[in-house]
């Protein structure tokens, strides 16, 4: 009986390991997906992605900002919703803020993936740019996560509506780094 259990366990772990190895090709691929079925059938998230920061890592900082429209009609200046904490020596053992940073990074990644899907679905010849929001895009999950967060921030009374934006900063340090540029601006939403 033990031999049968051992054999089944060996098959199970071997299949899992092979699926893990095949799954890395998807994550590492520059062009087309290889073995897409590996992740398609991974309903429980058992296949890890080990290709950290590769092949194309994020080499700029993304900032989540928001501004409000006051009841009198004026707009407030853009304010950073989450300020990236400067690197400290303590981070070697304790760094809770990395969760928020990663959450924003994952959400922004998902937002741009959704945006590219919307863009490819747009009428031929009428490409949708990152600063022009496609119709119904405000109902997508990443958009709602960011909108919900900035809407929930405490603010002074008299704000009628809010909007958020994603700015990209950084770039090649030898070229002095790029000035922050807006890469996405949401619509105005009533508070």
Considering only residues 139 to 178 of the shown chain, the ones binding other proteins according to CB under 8 A are 141, 144-145, 148-149, 152-153, 170-174, 177
Dihedral of CA atoms 122, 127, 128, 134 in degrees, nearest 10, equals -20
CB of 100 to other proteins, least distance (A): 6
Among 169, 189, 177, 2, which residue's Cα sits nearest to residue 80?
Answer: 169
Q: CA 41 → CA 27, 44, 125, 189, distances in Å?
A: 15, 9, 35, 38
The token pair at 54 is 């590769």
The token pair at 159 is 């704000």
Considering only residues 77 to 106 of the shown chain, the ones binding other proteins according to CB under 8 A are 82, 84, 86-87, 89, 91-106
The token pair at 78 is 């853009």
Backbone angles phi, psi at 149, to 5 degrees: -65, -50
Identity of the residue, 107 or 162, whose beta carbon is nearer to other proteins in the bound complex: 107
Looking up tokens 């009628």 gives 160
Under rule CB under 8 A, residue 41 binds other proteins = no
Under rule CB under 8 A, residue 30 binds other proteins = yes
x-marked contacts with other proteins along 111-140 as a string, rule CB under 8 A = ------------------------------
Identity of the residue, 84 or 161, whose beta carbon is nearer to other proteins in the bound complex: 84
Instruction: List all residues 6 or more positions away from 49 whose beta carbon is below 8 Å from its beta carbon.
Output: 23, 24, 27
Under rule CB under 8 A, residue 40 binds other proteins = no
Contact residues for other proteins, defined by CB under 8 A = 2, 5-6, 9-10, 13, 16-17, 20-21, 24, 27-28, 30, 45-46, 48-62, 82, 84, 86-87, 89, 91-107, 110, 141, 144-145, 148-149, 152-153, 170-174, 177
């Amino acid at each position: 009986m033990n031999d049968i259990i051992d054999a089944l366990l060996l098959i199970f772990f071997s299949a899992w390991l092979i699926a893990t190895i095949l799954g890395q090709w998807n994550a590492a691929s520059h062009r087309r997906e290889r073995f897409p079925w590996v992740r398609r059938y991974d309903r429980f998230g058992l296949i890890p992605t080990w290709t950290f920061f590769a092949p194309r890592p994020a080499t700029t900082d993304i900032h989540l900002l928001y501004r409000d429209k006051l009841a009198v009609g004026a707009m407030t200046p853009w304010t950073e919703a989450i300020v990236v904490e400067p690197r400290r020596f303590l981070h070697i053992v304790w760094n809770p803020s990395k969760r928020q940073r990663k959450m924003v990074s994952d959400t922004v990644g998902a937002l741009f993936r959704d945006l590219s899907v919307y863009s490819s679905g747009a009428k031929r010849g009428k490409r949708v740019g990152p600063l022009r929001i496609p119709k119904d895009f405000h109902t997508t999950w990443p958009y709602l996560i960011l909108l919900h967060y900035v809407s929930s921030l405490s603010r002074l009374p008299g704000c009628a509506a809010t909007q958020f934006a994603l700015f990209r900063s950084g770039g090649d340090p030898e070229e002095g780094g790029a000035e922050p540029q807006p890469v996405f601006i949401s619509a105005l939403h009533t508070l």
